[in-house]
Amino acid sequence: MKKLMSKPVLAMSLLYLLCGCQGTQSSFTEPVEMVEYFADNALSTPLAIVQHPAGIHKNGITYVSYQGQFTDPYVAAYNHNTKQWQGPFQAGESDLGRMNKKKPDNHGKPTMLIDDLGYIHIFFGGHGGSPKDGENLLGNYNSGRNKHVVSKRPGDISEWRELKNISVFGTYNQAIKMDNGDIYLIYRHGAHRSDWVYQKSTDHGRTFEAPVSFLKHKPHETQNNHDSWYVWATKGENDDIIMSYDYHVCPNDTKARGHIPVRHDLYYMVFDTKNNTWRNVQSEPLITPVTRQIADAKTLVARTGGEDMWTFNGTTHLDPQGKPHLSINIGKDIGKPWGGSKQTHYYRWTGANWTDGNLVHAQQHKSKGSEGDFVPHSATDIQFTLAYEEKNKDAIVADFHSKDGGKTFVKGQELLHRKDVSWSVSSLIKNAHPDARILVAERPKGTNWRKIYLLGDNGPIKRVKSEALVLTEADKSIFK
């Protein structure tokens, strides 16, 4: 950390205080400028809901990760007791930002885990690997090797070492630690036409077992498409992992338009890690890897609209009674494969059925799209934190509350408000401190560089400006 006062100035300030002198701080030091962001070196789309957790709170410190220069993983930490920031430090080196492409490949954003010994793990850099990395028996290829680094010391983010113990073909890492310390790394085993798998570690992430498929990719039986999936998984009750997912229609004919990310519908299932069994919400057993036919028959939560209504990952959580609550982002995307206006919808299991997917944004008629995460405080008390943009070009991060089980939502406090930017947003910080609940990065037009914020009940956690200015002039010439 940079010193805010020299020793002579500090000594003189203490002398004046002891003498009862009435001089102000400005008499002896230059004012310290504070900013609301903690770093300015986030690159392109540096955060996403699907790569999670991006941050973890433990022992009074919030650790956060994001995509920085060359799409490398960067890690920072905020101490809530001392009110000081540390970092960001580069934790590893990604292939994706070094492939001589004009546009960054954002699929390798970092995922964080802290093991039971206190070491911090980061998984990053993968977008399916390539044939030169070997044969992918569970999917196809794209680029970028999936990597795993661990801190050299518990709780210390300043130095890292790489562990070559996970599949290089991984994409969309999601890391989960169970109560007994076992670690599950969940990801797609390759590019779009690949199985979703997990790898298990029983020794604090030092070794991992071979990948095990639980969602199957395969050609569609009648249409000129391929069945594929996008998953969001987290720890459930006891030994369970819960997950929601949507169906990716991967067209075979992509020559004219390139790959089109058409996605539909919402599904839910549970993995009992103790007994190595899978079940649906009604506790009916599932045969894995789950195919589209099994998913439609056993795990479907909702059809999310016609062919022109596309989906994008939301999240899933259990309420205190153990019942699942889900979100999914739905929007009309036909003709705009990388754009569209997706709105966050909410579903919950009543014990007998899934509720209809109600809109969360209380002013959805003004919104150009929303994305975020939520906490079910009870079966009926739901709190969302959403990042969204309004048609008047206001970009806002705010809380939304429901007291009637998601039938209606009311906007609460705004955590951040900007003009003429869009957002990328993480899922909620794991075990979050109230002052540090979610990461967001603002995306102004005309540049790939982003300022990144840590937000909580009191808005952004501020930092001394000179510490938050991480980018160098040389950095700024990369991915302008």
Has residue 2 been placed in a domain? no
Instruction: Indicate the helix (H) or strand (E) that contains 20.
Output: none
Mean of pLDDT values over 309-337: 87
Cβ contact 417:411 at 8 Å: no
Q: 177 in helix, strand or coil?
A: strand
What does the pLDDT average to over 169-191? 98
pLDDT of residue 48: 97
Q: For position 412, what pLDDT does the model report?
A: 96
Q: Report the candidate in 237, 305, 229 with the shortest Cα–Cα distance to residue 267.
A: 229
Our count of domains for the chain comes to 1
pLDDT tens digits for range 119-163: 999 999 999 999 999 999 999 999 999 999 999 999 999 999 999
User: 14: part of which helix (H) or strand (E)?
Assistant: helix 7-18
Question: Percentage of the chain surpassing pLDDT 90?
Answer: 80
Q: What is the domain-level CATH number for residue 24?
A: 2.120.10.10
Distance from C-alpha of 57 to C-alpha of 59, rounded to nearest angstrom: 7
Share of the chain above pLDDT 70, in %: 90
Distance, in Å, from the CA atom of 425 to the CA atom of 52, rounded to the nearest integer, reads 11
Determine the structural domain holding residue 165 and report its residue range: 7-476
pLDDT band at 42 (very low <50, low <70, confident <90, very high): very high
User: Could you give the 3-state DSSP secondary structure of residue 468?
Assistant: helix
Task: For residue 464, give every residue at least 6 positions away whose Cβ sits within 8 Å of its Cβ, in sequence order, or none.
Answer: 2, 4, 32, 33, 34, 35
Does residue 14 have a pLDDT over 50? no
390 within a domain of the structure (yes/no): yes
Of the ranges 8-12, 120-124, 361-365, which one carries the lowest mean pLDDT score? 8-12
Residue 237, domain member (yes or no): yes
387, amino acid identity: A
DSSP string, 344-399: EEEEEB-SS-BPP-EE--TTTTTEEEEEEEEEESSSS-EEEEEEEEETTSEEEEEE
Q: Which of 394, 448, 438, 433 is nearest to 415 (CA)?
A: 438
pLDDT classification of 335: cutoffs 50, 70, 90? very low
Cα separation, 462 vs 261, in Å, equals 37
Is residue 268 a part of any domain in this protein? yes
Q: Is the pLDDT of residue 104 over 60?
A: yes
Residue 337 in this model has a pLDDT that exceeds 50: no
Mean pLDDT of 73-80: 98
* Global model pTM greater than 0.85: yes
Question: Do 273 and 241 touch, CB atoms closer than 8 A?
Answer: yes
Residue 219 included in any domain: yes
Give the residue-averaged pLDDT of 47-53.
98
Asked if residue 326 is part of any domain, the answer here is: yes
Most confident of 10-14, 229-233, 249-253: 229-233
- Taking the C-alpha atoms of residue 325 and residue 302, their distance in angstroms, rounded to an integer, is 13
Mean pLDDT of 328-357: 82
Q: Annotated catalytic sites, by residue?
A: 107, 172
pLDDT at position 258: 61
Q: Is residue 432 part of a domain?
A: yes
Would you say residue 256 lies in a domain?
A: yes
- The runs of H, that is alpha helices, within 221-351 are 292-294
For the purposes of burial, counting CB atoms within 10 Å of the CB of 382, is it exposed (0-12), middle (13-18) or buried (19 or more)? buried
Strands 147-153 and 120-124: antiparallel
Least confident segment among 76-85, 119-128, 173-182, 249-258: 249-258
Q: Average model confidence (pLDDT) for the chain? A: 90
Residue 446, C-beta contacts closer than 8 angstroms, at least 6 positions apart: none
pLDDT confidence bin for 28, thresholds 50/70/90: low
Identity of residue 438: I
